[in-house]
Structure 1
């Protein structure tokens, strides 16, 4: 299989990440710190890409592992974390093997995200933690014109829940690889349907949030 990110992996690593604003303007790292928190078990990043968050996960005390469909992105992840090429909806991991799992700014790249959540629940031990940090479904997508950050324009399309390459900017990844949009109720229902108990939430980015984060826990059976 060839993943869409294979074609832009070098650009993503050397140009897109290099041009990122300093600090944590979208609050992604703050949300990951707050909702994942310290731990000492194995934490799987699903859709790890180039391993940009591996050090942060390790600094929290976790043993960072990763899976991604793109061989091109994983080429840049070498040295950052132990990672394997795999479909996020069909993880090559036995049941209840992990203490924690995360997805970071990746769920819109996964058209089968409800299946990904079911797989996350399957590989987590009972009471294991799952943290989702992703673009905000209410304010980001092909329906959201973010040209003026002080006045985001929401156009028809939020309720459609479709895949699109439409983007408010040509400087990011969405106009290159597309994105799948999940309206907020569908996204949260997918957690519940997977057997994950919702615990905490967070938002990041200002003045209109760019990121939404969720912490959930695998239910005991």
Structure 2
């Protein structure tokens, strides 16, 4: 599985090369549509938005533009070093959040679930810290069209090979210019991913996809019910 040390080792590259120049919300600089998905799925609101796996804090400005107050947690001290000045953040395990029960109105998980082998436990923790009526927004790698089984070498098509149902961790990647060949990725097939939300007691309310011609991103908005179902 991907380790904290792995992200520590690539933190400077991630900040200075991989992310440099990307402006989320611009169609030209945001080919996956992450900025639009974040705005549409999270929406305007008030109070704390806890970003789990906040990394270098690149989404904090978008969260603030919605009237919310971004706060982050991440395992990698190297990534958090670059997050300084972007949002308040603490080094913590997303599966064991240092946050009180029912204390935040929103939780954001942005392109991180493939870095979290215990993602069902992470969703359970997110549900624990959410207030009743609170919103969880997940925007992540599309389980159907990305992973060690998907080759995106042709910009007009995706070639899908064996591996979708394996549910394994791998460093296999169609490119050496991304993150996955460096730190690996955990894959959850779509039924397991969506089932983890309902198992956490969350109610699925909206879905969206991003990226063309074949979606590379799946977005999910879920709500913590006011009463146990």
Shared fold per TM-score greater than 0.5: yes
* Superposed CA offset, 1:33-57 (max 9, x none): 0000001111000000000000000
1:83-115 superposed Cα distances (whole Å, 9 cap, x missing partner): 000000000001001000011011100000000
1:5 aligns with 2:7: yes
Partner of 1:83: 89
Using the alignment, how far apart are the partners of 1:220 and 1:183 within structure 2?
Answer: 29
Q: When the two structures are superposed, what TM-score results if normalisation uses the length of structure 1?
A: 0.97
Count of aligned pairs: 221
1:150 Cα deviation after fit? 1.0
Please list every run of 5 or more consecutive structure 2 residues that lacks an aligned counterpart in the other structure. Answer: none
Q: Is the 8 A contact 2:22 2:30 kept in 1?
A: no
Q: Distance in 2 between matches of 1:3 and 1:92?
A: 21
In the TM superposition, 1:198-217 aligns within 5 A as 198-217=204-223
Quote the offset at 1:3 in angstroms: 3.4
1:151 Cα deviation after fit: 1.7
Please state if 1:58 is matched with 2:58: no
Is the aligned partner of 1:178 residue 2:215?
no
1:158-177 → structure 2 map (5 Å cutoff): 158-177=164-183
Task: Identify which of 13, 18, 38 aligns with 1:32.
Answer: 38
Displacement of 1:219 in angstroms is 1.8
Distance 1:151 1:40 in 2: 41
Write out per-residue CA displacement over residues 13-71 of structure 1, whole angstroms, 9 at most, x where no aligned residue. 00111265852210111110000000111100000000000000001000100000000
The TM-score with structure 2 as length reference comes to 0.94
Q: Deviation per CA, 1:155-178: give whole Å up to 9, x if none.
A: 010000100000010000000000
Task: Give, in whole Å, the separation in 2 of the partners of 1:186 and 1:110.
Answer: 14
Query: Equivalents in 2 of 1:209, 1:81: separation in Å?
Result: 30
